[in-house]
Structure 1
Amino acid sequence: MNTKKQFTEVEFGQQKVKVPKGGYYDRFRMNPNLDEVAQDPAAGNIDFFRKIPKQMVVSRVGPVWAPNFYYRTSNVQVLMLAPLKQLRKKLPAPLEPLQAFPGFGLVAVTFFTYAVCDNDPYNEASVAIVIRKPNAKGLNALELLNSIRQRHFYAHVLALPVDTEIARVRGVYGYQLPKWLTEINVDINPTNIYADLKDTSGQLDLSLSTQTPELKHVKSESRMNEATMLHQVDNKWHQTHVQSNTLAFAQKLLPRNVKLVRHGGPVSQLLDELGASKILRLDVVQDAQVVLNLPKVL
């Protein structure tokens, strides 16, 4: 029996990309029939997405359907302290790191797995600096408290490797994000969490392992999180807004049993250059629904 996945070639902007034959991208081209998606047992309850109409919008690669829907996602994130002077070296002006403690800001390292989404399953890793809101005035401490309370953070992403070509092409040409193609593994199960990232030659770059904290299960839309990425697209500042409907999660302050090991690849080197050190918080999202909007000019 041949269980090998079959692929078909599609066009995205000027790029030709292979995607799984009969997969979501092949069938729906980013404009899914939600009644059909609802029949996919892997997608779960998708009522949340019915309130968000997709629109054909103009993008730098031509007209595309947006926003992008992620019906089933999980992620594990460590929030780390890093010296402000190191963070400023990596941030383009006028972005400013958000100060968490005197002399220190925050770096978030996240591993994502997207089990069911408009552009087919893939994994992603991210290194981002938590930054101040555009035109923010007032104390860093108040801004940080507001961000925690509202569950809305601003960030500048420095690295965003992915493990499928359609995810890379969409991220690079649609959003001008720092994406490249490499091997990424993410396993979030009820007892343990393991994630790793290889460099482009197949050597281990970064790995994370920990025990799964006790998860809380909540009602749909009772715990919404937002993140706004600030980045340049064609030399103009843009913001890309991400909404998450979290369904099962856990959070641990000053976690003791997290092993984040740098094996010396480009992402490990980036964390060294940022001076990222102590892990302040571990966040585990075992189930969430995510909406990714197209970048808007600031």
Structure 2
Amino acid sequence: MIAGHTVPLLAGGLYDRFHSNPPLSVIASEAPDVDLSWFKTLQKTRVDIGFESYSPNFYYKNSKVTAVFTADLATLKSLMPAKVLEQVQPLQVWPGRGLVALTAYTYEYCDNDSYNEVSLSIVTNRPGNANLGPVSLVGQSMSKDFWGYVLKLPVDTELARVRGVVGYNLPKWLTGIHLKDNDKTVVYEIIDSQTGKVDVTLETDKLGDLSSEAELVTNSFTNTGHDGELTYGYAVSRQLSHASSSDESTVKLVLGDGSLSTYIKALDLGTMMKYEYVPSFQSALYAPAPLQSMLND
């Protein structure tokens, strides 16, 4: 049981045994190929996020792809709560156009066992900072400190769904997310939970010339808590293998007739501005905190 929800767990899995706090010695013995040096520098603390957990949550071995598209600015604003808009707004890259980031994650080995997740987020300014459109975007890119507002977040395990909804108040739901990996491309198929059919297909190229220089990237989001209070959360990623491209031919997004495709179509996606291919990264996801605590720092 997690916060009153009956959640099926992988018997003998990390979460079943350690509930978000496995000793690194266990990880080292079960996954000897994983470099744990970064995690040894991080300290977990016990937190109450609607259930007892530990922050940050560790993701030891993962991969992801991200495609950033232009989208209709007025529509993006209409999808954000008024209270959130008082603090952050979509970044305008040119008149009437903002940005959304579509990211597909595969968490091969983490505190919550393994699962796939797809995030659709609006790119925003940092709370407390002026929204200067392209200038803010360049600033975030240079500092590797990105901010957004999460619109949709399907996952393919009930453990990930309940933890995300109860603990973070994120828009998660349970559906099939299938990864098809071949020599040249990475393909994610998102199933429509109502029909059971493939609704969204994200096909991206495996880029060459990968950088193996580890870099730390922070992705933060502004949100509201269950009681309507403003919160923020963030994940720090240690990208071990990565490359990017602005060539539109590297990404193919196919939309169907399901609810997620219908939602994405309404955003009026335009130019693909950037594609990021990250076949190897590690991450630490921190528990949400009151936004005011950050603004007061």
Give TM-score, length-normalised by structure 1.
0.91
Three-state SS of the structure 1 residue aligned to 2:93 is coil
Three-state SS of the structure 1 residue aligned to 2:7 is strand
Aligned alpha-carbon RMSD (Å): 1.5
Structure 1 residue identity aligned to 2:262: Q
Is it true that 1:208 corresponds to 2:198 in the alignment? Answer: no
Structure 1 residue identity aligned to 2:200: L
2:125–2:131: 8 Å Cα contact kept in structure 1? no
* Residue in structure 2 matched with residue 76 of structure 1 by the alignment: 65
* Residue in structure 2 matched with residue 46 of structure 1 by the alignment: 36
Aligned counterpart for 2:149 among listed residues 152, 156, 161:
156
Three-state SS of the structure 2 residue aligned to 1:216 is coil
- Distance change >3 Å, CA 257–CA 246, structure 1 → 2: closer
Query: How far apart, in 2, do the equivalents of 1:102 and 1:195 lie?
Result: 32
1:98–1:130: 8 Å Cα contact kept in structure 2? yes
Q: Which runs of 4+ in 1 moved over 3 A?
A: 187-190
- Tell me the alpha carbon deviations over residues 55-92 of structure 1, each in whole angstroms, 9 at most, x when there is no partner: 11122x13321111000111111100012112111122
* Residue in structure 1 matched with residue 253 of structure 2 by the alignment: 260
Three-state SS of the structure 1 residue aligned to 2:81 is coil
* Residue in structure 2 matched with residue 8 of structure 1 by the alignment: none
- Distance change >3 Å, CA 147–CA 50, structure 1 → 2: same
2:148–2:221: 8 Å Cα contact kept in structure 1? yes
1:43–1:116: 8 Å Cα contact kept in structure 2? no
Moved more, 241-250 or 95-104: 95-104
1:190 Cα shift? Answer: 4.9
Query: How far apart, in 1, do the equivalents of 2:204 and 2:105 lie?
Result: 15
Q: How does 1:131-150 map to 2 (within 5 A)?
A: 131-137=124-130, 139-150=132-143
Structure 2 residue identity aligned to 1:202: G
1:264 Cα shift? Answer: 1.7
Larger strand proportion of the pair: 1
1:194–1:208: 8 Å Cα contact kept in structure 2? yes
* Residue in structure 2 matched with residue 30 of structure 1 by the alignment: 20
2:250–2:275: 8 Å Cα contact kept in structure 1? no
1:188 Cα shift? Answer: 4.5
Structure 1 residue identity aligned to 2:15: Y
- Tell me the alpha carbon deviations over residues 181-226 of structure 1, each in whole angstroms, 9 at most, x when there is no partner: 000012445522111100112111100113211152424xx41111
Query: How far apart, in 2, do the equivalents of 1:54 and 1:297 lie?
Result: 19
* Residue in structure 2 matched with residue 63 of structure 1 by the alignment: 52
Moved more, 262-271 or 175-184: 262-271
Structure 2 residue identity aligned to 1:209: E
Query: How far apart, in 1, do the equivalents of 2:202 and 2:51 lie?
Result: 38
* Residue in structure 1 matched with residue 218 of structure 2 by the alignment: 226
1:139 Cα shift? Answer: 2.5
* Residue in structure 1 matched with residue 295 of structure 2 by the alignment: none
Is it true that 1:21 corresponds to 2:17 in the alignment? Answer: no
* Residue in structure 2 matched with residue 289 of structure 1 by the alignment: 282
- Distance change >3 Å, CA 42–CA 35, structure 1 → 2: closer
Query: How far apart, in 1, do the equivalents of 2:32 and 2:65 lie?
Result: 20
1:152–1:225: 8 Å Cα contact kept in structure 2? yes
2:91–2:131: 8 Å Cα contact kept in structure 1? no
- Distance change >3 Å, CA 18–CA 129, structure 1 → 2: same
Aligned counterpart for 1:87 among listed residues 54, 76, 84:
76
Query: How far apart, in 2, do the equivalents of 1:18 and 1:155 lie?
Result: 31
Segments of structure 2 that go 5 or more residues without pairing to the other structure are: 292-297
- Distance change >3 Å, CA 181–CA 81, structure 1 → 2: same
1:53 Cα shift? Answer: 1.1
* Count of residue pairs brought into register by the alignment: 285
Query: How far apart, in 2, do the equivalents of 1:54 and 1:63 lie?
Result: 13
- Tell me the alpha carbon deviations over residues 18-64 of structure 1, each in whole angstroms, 9 at most, x when there is no partner: 111111101211111101101223761111111111111122x1332
- Distance change >3 Å, CA 43–CA 116, structure 1 → 2: farther
Segments of structure 1 that go 5 or more residues without pairing to the other structure are: 1-10
